[in-house]
Amino acid sequence: MSTTTLSSRNTRETKKLARRSVGPRKGPGHYVAWACLIAILIITILPFYWMVRTSLSSMSGLAEHPGSILPVDITLDAYRRVFGLVDLQENLAQGGAGAAMNFWLYLRNSAIVATVVMIGQTLFSAMAAYAFARLRWRGRNLVFTIFLSALMVPSIFTTIPNFVLIKDLGLLNTFTGIVAPTFFMTPFAIFFLRQFFLGIPREIEEAARIDGASNFGTFFKVIVPMAKAPITTLAVLTFITAWNDYLWPLLVGQREEVRVLTVALGIFRSQTPQGSPDWAGLMAGALMAAVPIIILFLILGKQIVNNLGFSGLK
């Protein structure tokens, strides 16, 4: 009798363990969530795929089959036109607009502007964020609140005053004029790093002060190494923002020697001597302009998402 009871008890425990190993049942909401996720993913990837499809198609093929999902008459002629590997006659024969584009010069200019803005804004924003988070001075919270309120001011409102200032300083058509408005700091960058600095224990800084470190020494030798991850995240986000900027470089950098890639693509789009834009060439140029950003996200995408969540941003 006792053997039978023991075996039945073991059977019930085995069934319970089996149900636990299987996990909770997947209801309709689970599949609806997956369907929505797949739909959002397709909507997100579709423009990028369409850009690749257009860049690999010939202009004649695009005219004959504009709605084709797959590339039409697959060719790399669009990339050759963007890189300046064909002359004017061949460009027109391929169906291009005949527009010349010094791609490598514009790529270099974009890299210079984005890198300088990234270095300056990351450094000065980190120092300002540390001052707001750790240093004690009268009116600190009031100044931070006023400074943070600038997030509610659209950037277009400050474009004209900045342009007049840059013009009066004689900095039009220079790299200095392009990078000046965003070189030092932005409210978002300061808020982003301040959230992390507030989470660092004060005991670490007090120990550094006991060892004789100054405010600058504590910041550069103790705080910066500990904040390497969020500072790297801010640097990447700043680089991407500066790389994709269009309006300000268009207003300030009109000469070709300082023209950035986003502005060059807009001018390339407007050059239509044959009556229609070179869509294949435009998409090829846009794709090549996006390659550095794609590489950054592939390498640092997970770190960026984790640090944004850690800092309390939604």
What is the pLDDT at residue 24? 57
Using an 8 Å Cβ cutoff, are 73 and 60 in contact?
A: yes
What is the pLDDT at residue 85? 79
What is the pLDDT at residue 296? 84
Check whether 52 has a pLDDT greater than 60.
Answer: yes
Q: What is the pTM of this model?
A: 0.80
Q: What is the DSSP letter of 184?
A: S
Give the C-alpha separation, 65 to 283, whole Å: 17
pLDDT digits (tens, 9 = 90+) for 254-287: 888 999 999 998 888 887 665 677 888 889 989 9
What is the pLDDT at residue 281? 86
Which residue, chain included where needed, has tokens 């846009």?
Answer: 286
pLDDT digits (tens, 9 = 90+) for 66-96: 888 888 888 888 888 888 777 777 777 776 6
Distances (CA, A) of 118 to 115, 201, 259, 292: 5, 28, 18, 15
What is the pLDDT at residue 312? 44
SS (HEC) of 202-264: HHHHHHHHHCCCCHHHHHHHHHHHHCHHHHHHHHHHHHHHHHHCCHHHHHHCCCHHHCCHHHH
Q: What is the separation of C-alpha 183 from the centre of its chain, rounded to a whole number of angstroms? A: 17
Question: By percentage, how much of the chain surpasses pLDDT 70?
Answer: 84
Distances (CA, A) of 101 to 16, 47, 81: 69, 24, 8
Q: Calculate mean pLDDT across residues 294-307.
A: 74
What is the pLDDT at residue 205? 83
What is the pLDDT at residue 113? 95
Give the C-alpha separation, 238 to 236, whole Å: 5
pLDDT digits (tens, 9 = 90+) for 202-246: 888 888 888 888 888 888 888 888 888 889 889 998 999 999 999
Report helix, strand or coil for 72.
coil
Gap between the terminal Cα atoms of the chain: 62
**Angle at 285 (CA atoms; ends 171, 304), nearest 5 degrees:** 75
What is the pLDDT at residue 91? 72
Q: What is the DSSP letter of 153?
A: S
